Amino acid sequence: MGFIPVTDYVLHYKASEFVPNRPTLLLIHGMMTDSTIWSRLLPRFGQSVNWIVYDRGGHGQSGNPSDTRSLQGFLSEMLSLMDALGLKKVHLAGCGLGSALAFEMARQYPNRVLSVALISSVFFLPEQDFGQSFQLLKQLAQLDPELLLEKAEADLFEESPGDYRSDFRRAFRRLAPACIQAELDWLLSTYSPARFNFADALSELKQPALVLHGIHDRLIPQRMSALFAACIPECRWFPISHAAHYPSLDAPNQTAELMIKFLAGIFQPIAIDRPYQRAILTFRQQIHYELDQKEHQKRLLTMHVLQPFAVRWNGHEIIGKWNQRCAKELLLYLMLHHGIARRETLIRTFLPDMTPAQAHNHLRVRISHLNKIFDSCADPSASGILLVDDERLILRAKPENDLLDFRQKLTRLLSEKHSVHQQATDFSGLLAIYDPACFSSFHGEWIDVMIHEIERDMGLVLQQLIPVLQKSGKRDLLLSILQRAHLIEPYDGYCDEWLAQMQSGIL
């Protein structure tokens, strides 16, 4: 174990005893963890490998870089570590974000990389699929790290609990929110298909590659890793059973066995005859086509509340029994809360007067009903909108909701300063949209509270805006707003008082 200086911080690493003629493997961890992610894998290498693990900047026992995370910063850590240890060339293995860094290192410094093992690779992150979820993760990192930790454990590990997760929890709790946010931003900006075509980039890899992927990975499906492997010239691909995003923890024996054989050269590149070469070329061309098509596809869930009620999936209306079992109330709640809610929070909101057992049963029935509505959609992809586990519900879609947009605009009117004309125009637009009758088919105390908050805030904007309009002489705008604001006036008769003053010539 040791530390080396890297620019303005120190890098922590740990290495096995170096034995000549053994392959030397440098392992790179992913997001939200540190080098302890390899703790169950390293003992299984036995006498087969010289290994080095390290904590990337901002993780584990390493210091915090002062600059924003960048590719060159990530790679400079590896180069500094290799130089300090006198290593001219190494084999690389990485998981998640670490897999991306192993690939980038091999691509930019090919003379220093002998081979790459890419575990749980993340080379395809369409913004329409991952932008919303990554934004949620960034918010949770800042506002509720423990909820983010729960979500990460549910998403990244095999379902069966294991004591080894304690290493992950300790590593996560050492992280600063800014580090998580910066790496999420880097991943999405780097591996969006708009900027990174994996079919082209992976086909340029010169080194032998091993691609491993847990069959239960919920972040990146196993079939995507098979596509990645198909694009790499000298590659072998293996799915890891009983593993999710971190095979090194979920299935260390199988992972170690495959890596040892790969490093020993047992997995030779498969000889490909000319007809199969043409078939692979055709396959890669098909990937190009699918990537282009994917850019135009969306996972867009739209809910209209202030207009005639409707729910649409990628523009197609979902017809269902929305007025039964609080289906539309449950969906609206999820949309207003960034697409995620804990079961316990839903029980307090929807079923506060029931016993815990009754409440959990009723919530289960309501969730099942909502899922059936999604399953009935003509587009089969709608069946995967709602992700449900023992702790929470998550919308796997980009949600668009006119009520959420309305409330955000109202909040901006209260908090931001614009010209009087702009404020009046924006407020007139909200008055034209708002009709409390839109909520007549929605039920629940939380709905009543929300309506009260909306009308309270609109009344506050009205009280702030009317005197300003009067002083600025914008009589037409003043009259237009007062004539339409009776439903949200701060007290009965407020608008009529101002209208009477206008008619009598006092204003």
Distance CA 218, CA 87 (A): 36
Is 22:49 a contact under the CB 8 Å cutoff?
A: yes
pLDDT (average), residues 486-496: 91
Distance CA 424, CA 459 (A): 14
Sign of CA dihedral 156, 160, 164, 170: positive
Distance CA 506, CA 207 (A): 84
pLDDT (average), residues 479-486: 89
Q: At residue 163, does pLDDT exceed 80?
A: no
Torsion from C-alpha of 201, 202, 203, 207, nearest 10 degrees: 120
Which residue has better confidence, 459 or 69? 459
Distance CA 228, CA 291 (A): 13
Question: What integer pLDDT is reported at residue 296 of this predicted model?
Answer: 41
- What would the two tokens of residue 20 be? 């000549």
pLDDT (average), residues 497-504: 85
Question: What integer pLDDT is reported at residue 161 of this predicted model?
Answer: 52
CATH (residue range 2-271): 3.40.50.1820
What confidence tier does 306 reach under pLDDT thresholds 50, 70, 90?
Answer: very high
Between the two ends of the chain, the Cα-to-Cα distance in Å is 80
Question: What integer pLDDT is reported at residue 274 of this predicted model?
Answer: 47
Question: What integer pLDDT is reported at residue 276 of this predicted model?
Answer: 44
Question: What integer pLDDT is reported at residue 168 of this predicted model?
Answer: 87
Specify the residue for token string 């409440």. 359
What confidence tier does 286 reach under pLDDT thresholds 50, 70, 90?
Answer: low
Q: What is the DSSP string of 112-164?
A: GEEEEEEES------HHHHHHHHHHHHHHHHH-HHHHHHHHHHHHS-SS--TT
Question: What integer pLDDT is reported at residue 162 of this predicted model?
Answer: 58
Per-residue pLDDT of 374-390, as tens digits, reads 988 888 888 878 888 77
Reported CATH class of domain 300-400:
mainly alpha
- What would the two tokens of residue 97 be? 């974000």
Top mean pLDDT of 149-153, 311-315, 382-386 is at 311-315
DSSP secondary structure letter of residue 192: S
All structural domains of the chain with their residue ranges: 2-271, 300-400, 417-503
Least-confidence region, from 286-300, 361-375, 437-451: 286-300
Per-residue pLDDT of 10-31, as tens digits, reads 999 999 999 998 999 999 999 9
Question: What integer pLDDT is reported at residue 144 of this predicted model?
Answer: 85
Question: What integer pLDDT is reported at residue 62 of this predicted model?
Answer: 93
Bridge partner residues of 316 (DSSP): 313
Distance CA 442, CA 493 (A): 28
Distance CA 505, CA 502 (A): 5
Per-residue pLDDT of 181-233, as tens digits, reads 999 999 998 998 888 888 889 989 999 999 999 998 888 888 888 888 888 98
Question: What integer pLDDT is reported at residue 159 of this predicted model?
Answer: 58
Which residue has better confidence, 251 or 288? 251
For the chain, give the number of residues: 507
Q: At residue 294, does pLDDT exceed 80?
A: no
Q: H-helix or E-strand containing 201?
A: helix 198-203
Question: What integer pLDDT is reported at residue 311 of this predicted model?
Answer: 95
Q: In whole numbers, what is the pLDDT of the chain averaged over residues?
A: 87
Which residue has better confidence, 192 or 280? 192
219, HSE (Cβ side, Cα atoms, 13 Å): 29
DSSP secondary structure letter of residue 96: T
